[in-house]
Structure 1
Amino acid sequence: MRNFARIALAAVVALVVGLALTSCTDSSQDKENRAKQDNYDHLVAQQPAGRMEYSPTREAINQWIKTWGQRGKLSYVYIQNANGEYGYFIMKGLPVPRCKMLTPTERVETTNHGVGVLAQPGMDGTYTSGSTCNAYYGFDATTGAYMEFTVGTNQSFFLFDKPMTMPEYASARQLGPTSVKDVANQA
């Protein structure tokens, strides 16, 4: 029993000494990270964040919630192509980027070898790279037809909660099944 206690004590001492030696030999990255954190702490102490009496950002977010947080809200999506021409869709709710998911796309797993991030399958049982964030989809306002469009490479979209009357939008070509007149007639 005494030998076991001595061996256990020697193992604990060796572990403590090993950890102490390891902590004395910081890597270059550890030193750089510590310098960055020290500098940040110094700057915060010298220039603490100010205090606002009112937040226009919070007001805008709350207005966004008020605007889009209601069932049946229509969105008017105007698309401008590389030639400067406009077209439009009218959708139920907001267009959704295809990279949005209802379930987690990754799982963090800790093993003896470290921490790893593992991809998780989507609701359709397949994996995605998350590279479809420039593709949006939604459903037509009157027919419910699925619609999808992409942005980028000389194509932009502008989203409104009402039809736009400015000249470039007023002359936009109807791209989906529902027209501005169709929606006006339903109101």
Structure 2
Amino acid sequence: MRRLTRILTALAATAVLGFTAAACTDDSSQAQESRTKQSGYDRLVKRQPAEVMKYSPTRETINKWVDTWEKPGKLSYVYLQNANGEYGYFVLKGLPVSYCAMLTPPEETEGSSGGGLVTKTAPSMDGVYYSGGQCNAYYGIDATTGAYMEFTIGSNQSFFLYDRPMSLPEFRDATPLGQTRLEDGEITR
């Protein structure tokens, strides 16, 4: 009887292992598609490995941005085009800043009573919460008066940012939108 019990136990264990192994093997069409996709990717990577760049124009442009804008008091020239194709401009001390830019993290993580971590929206510098939907609103400081100013870019509007006045024909007759004026590429009051 003991021997029969051992045999039945062994058969039951083998059956359980077999069913478990079968349950772990996913032969669904989705799994097959995933394996085929990975196989194709692996084959292409082997035949066409990614090249390693010796020079990065992207890094050069980022470094140029840093070199250009890290100077205190650097002026920016913001040209706006409205839906009618008309141009205006601002001259700002420093870069225009999007309302989406922050000096503090937009979220904070803290422990929960259950021991896990909870991420929640953090208040902004002014002690209020923002939705993040104000990314088309910008602010800056007028170059000659130091006045704070804001502008919004909406549909059918574009803005162009330069580190010097532009003499392009479309900008030549641009209307000053702030206190600072340009005449022949020079700032006037």
In structure 2, the residue matched to 1:15 is none
Worse-matched range after superposition: 114-123 or 133-142: 114-123
- Structure 1 length-normalised TM: 0.73
Residue 136 of structure 1 corresponds to 138
Distance 1:181 1:168, change over 3 A: same
Q: Which residue is 1:59 aligned to?
A: 60
Q: Deviations over 1:116-153 (max 9, x none)?
A: 42001011111011111111110000101111111131
Aligned partner of 1:5 in structure 2 is: none
2:180 corresponds in structure 1 to 178
CA–CA separation in structure 1 for the residues paired with 2:106 and 2:39: 35
Q: Which has the higher helix share?
A: 1
- The structure that has the greater radius of gyration is 2
When normalised by structure 2's length, the TM-score is 0.73
Match of 1:48 in 2: 49
Q: Cα RMSD over matched residues?
A: 3.4
State the match for 1:85 in structure 2: 86
1:55 alignment partner AA: S
Structure 2 residues without counterparts, runs of 5 or longer: 1-19
| Whole-angstrom CA distance in 2 between matches of 1:104 and 1:46 | 43
Specify the code of the residue in structure 2 equivalent to 1:123.
M
After TM superposition, the structure 1 stretch with the greater mean CA deviation from structure 2, 34-43 or 89-98, is 34-43
Percent identical among aligned pairs is 57
1:156 to 155, 158, 164: 158
Letter aligned with residue 80 of structure 1: Q
User: CA 1:129/1:46 → structure 2, altered by over 3 Å: closer, same or farther?
Assistant: farther
Q: Which piece of structure 1 moves more, 78-87 or 107-116?
A: 107-116
1:122 is matched with 124
SS in 2 for 1:94: coil
Deviations 1:39-86 (A, max 9, x none): 697365554321111111111111111111111100000000000000
The 3-state SS of whatever aligns with 1:65 is helix
Distance in 1 of aligned mates of 2:147 and 2:141: 5
Give the Cα–Cα distance (whole angstroms) in 2 for the partners of residues 130 and 144 of structure 1. 27
- State the Cα distance separating 1:35 from its structure 2 match: 6.2
Q: Which residue in the other structure is 1:169 paired with?
A: 171
Partner of 2:108: 107
Indicate the SS of the match to 2:129. coil
